[in-house]
Amino acid sequence: MIKVENLTKRYAGQTAIRDLNFEVGQGEIMGFLGPNGAGKTTTMRILAGFMPATSGRASIAGFDVFEQSLQARSRLGYMSENVPLYNDMRVTEYLDYRAALKGVPHRRVAERVGDVKELCGLREVERKLIGALSKGYRQRVGLADALVNEPELLILDEPTIGLDPNQIRQVRELIKNLGRQHTILLSTHILPEVEMTCSRVIIIHKGRIEACDTPDNLLGQIRQAGGVVVEAKTGKDDGAEELKKISGVREVTTDQDDDWKIFSLRVESGLDVREEIFRLAAARKWTLRELSQRRATLEDVFVEITHSDQTEMPT
């Protein structure tokens, strides 16, 4: 659906993205992650035909986003980061206007606009001026706008930014449902959201793609694949020494909480050492208060990729 080859964009004096290569297949929900200023918005704007790339090619459904911009744009629903809207229009009026602009056939406009208003929960504000809407509703108007022409591809630049937790949950559900009929490219800072909704993830940092895989594979790849937290009274034993001897344990750090010692164990990925820890504790007569496995999250992947990179890369 999306094909990006060697895409590079330079602004005066700086490179926003360099040599991006990726593909998004039909029906995929692709998460697009990266720190602020990594080049996410730039990439999405190029794909949406809003600005041209300096070099490289990008195509949507086989149409080059620059050479065949109109065809590419008519297959696209784009929601930009701050959702700029005409404040002097009413919600229904705006959506009617956008539907006509995007070439929805005349007799279908009312039906489509009704559908997206229903879908995005805009019924109760449909007659309000957009300028009078709260941030959450503006966001939904932006989303409704992106959906109104039933595009094959949705490009959503931080669709949940500025929403409250309930709204974020609603939008997440909405995106998940949309993913059944649409291809979606979605950028966000909320990583649990990506873990829950996206079939694949691209992590971009300083204009380069650092990782591109399914969330599960990414979790498997990282060095700090997870760990175990043990809280115990170890009596005379040091605790850390004994725990380190268990095979698969790489590193143990100790914290003190009154009499209790809190050990954080770094374990090789794919291993579960909790049973052995329990046996050890039983044998040494330690009192256990907590023994839990901490799953690695995308946040760990994100931090590892974007942080380690910061120290390695010369600026």
Partner 1 sequence: MRKFYTLLAREVRGYFHSPIGYIVVVFFLLVTGVNYYFQISFMNQRPASYSVQEAFFNNVFFWLPFILIFPLITMRLFAEEFKLGTIEPLMTAPVRDLQVVLAKFVGALVFYIALWLPTLLYFAIFQKITQQPAANSAGAYCGSYLMVLLLGMFYLSVGCLASVLTKNQIVAAIISFCAITLLFFLGLIQYILLDVSGGMRDWLGYVSAIEHMATYSRGIIDTRPVVLYLSMTALMLALTYQAFQSRKWRL
> Contacting partner 1 (CB under 8 A), which of 22, 78, 263, 302?
78
Q: Which is nearer to partner 1, 153 or 296 (CB)?
A: 153
112 is an interface residue for partner 1 by CB under 8 A: no
Which one of the spans 25-33, 66-74, 158-166, 224-232 is the region binding partner 1 (CB under 8 A)? 66-74
Alpha-carbon gap, residue 265 to 225, rounded angstroms: 11
Question: Between residues 45 and 200, which has the closer beta carbon with respect to partner 1?
Answer: 45
In the complex, the smallest distance separating the C-beta of residue 189 from partner 1, rounded to whole angstroms, is 20
Asked if residue 304 binds partner 1 (CB under 8 A), the reply is no
Residue (57 or 169) nearer to partner 1, CB: 57
By CB under 8 A, is residue 80 in contact with partner 1? yes
User: Among residues 185 and 249, whose Cβ is nearest to partner 1?
Assistant: 185
Give Cα separations from 4 to 15, 241, 278 (angstroms): 17, 51, 51
Looking at the Cβ atoms of 56 and 220, the one nearer to partner 1 is 56
Whole-angstrom Cα distance, residue 170 to residue 11? Answer: 37
Q: Are strands 14-24 and 63-64 parallel, antiparallel or unpaired?
A: unpaired
Q: Residue 114's Cα: distance from chain center in Å? A: 29
Looking up tokens 């720190």 gives: 35
Report 142-171 residues binding partner 1 (CB under 8 A).
Answer: 142, 145
For residue 238, state whether it binds partner 1 (rule: CB under 8 A).
no
Least Å from the CB of residue 88 to partner 1:
4
**Looking at beta carbons only, is 109 or 125 nearer to partner 1?**
109
Nearer to partner 1, 93 or 115 (CB): 93
The window from 74-82, 207-215, 255-263, 299-307 that contacts partner 1 (CB under 8 A) reads 74-82
- Is position 11 an interface residue for partner 1 (rule: CB under 8 A)? yes
Site for partner 1 in 22-61 (CB under 8 A): 45, 48-52
* Count of residues of this chain found to bind partner 1 when the rule CB under 8 A is applied: 30
Please identify which residue in 3, 15, 85, 220 interacts with partner 1, judged by CB under 8 A: 85
The contact set with partner 1 (CB under 8 A) reads: 11, 45, 48-52, 70-71, 73-74, 76, 78, 80, 82, 84-89, 97-98, 100-103, 106, 142, 145
